């Protein structure tokens, strides 16, 4: 699949953009579910400014957290997931994953989290998985078929 996505732009410029737009449309139920799952202010300290080394992490803002949920299509050689829903807002990403790898005070204050899990994105995608899985599989298979036809 990774090679098919890479070949889209080579075959006809703009086809990868069309693929990404269709994937976003299919994944919209999971994205909407995740956007609705962010709380107003998880912890009071997250309202304060925090910019280590000049990189803004906090203050956390629910509106920015909701806008940060995006679908990404990455066909790079070293990527694990080609199509993924990710959080691009730093404060919300900290909220999502604090305490995920190692138990720590911030993770404990936000609530228990199983290793490798997230607080909002993972459960939202899992709840909407049935709605998007078959459509996404159909899109991928159609894309692979189209690339194979064009390369012959």
The burial class, CB within 10 Å (0-12 / 13-18 / 19+), for 19 is buried
Q: Are the CB atoms for 68 and 37 separated by under 8 Å?
A: no
| Spans of all domains in the chain | 2-151
14: left (phi over 0), alpha (psi -120 to 50) or beta: left
Q: Which residues lie closer than 8 Å to 120 by C-beta, 6 or more apart?
A: 34, 37, 38, 95, 96
CB atoms within 10 A of CB 85: 19
Per-residue pLDDT tens, the chain, 152 aa: give them. Answer: 777 777 777 777 788 888 889 999 999 999 999 999 999 888 888 888 888 898 888 998 999 999 999 999 887 777 777 888 999 999 999 999 888 888 888 888 988 887 778 889 989 999 999 889 999 899 888 888 887 887 77
């Amino acid at each position: 699949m990774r090679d098919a996505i890479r070949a889209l732009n080579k075959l006809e410029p703009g086809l990868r953009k069309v693929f990404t737009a269709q994937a976003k449309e299919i994944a919209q139920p999971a994205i909407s579910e995740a956007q609705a799952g962010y709380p107003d202010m998880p912890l009071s300290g997250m309202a304060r400014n925090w910019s280590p080394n000049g990189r803004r992490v906090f203050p956390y803002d629910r509106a920015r957290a909701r806008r940060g949920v995006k679908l990404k299509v990455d066909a790079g050689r070293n990527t694990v997931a080609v199509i993924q829903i990710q959080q691009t807002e730093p404060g919300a990403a900290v909220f999502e994953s604090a305490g995920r790898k190692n138990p720590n005070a911030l993770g404990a204050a936000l609530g228990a989290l199983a290793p490798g899990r997230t607080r909002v994105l993972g459960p939202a995608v899992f709840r909407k998985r049935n709605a998007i899985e078959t459509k996404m599989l159909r899109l991928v298979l159609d894309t692979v078929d189209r690339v194979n036809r064009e390369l012959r």
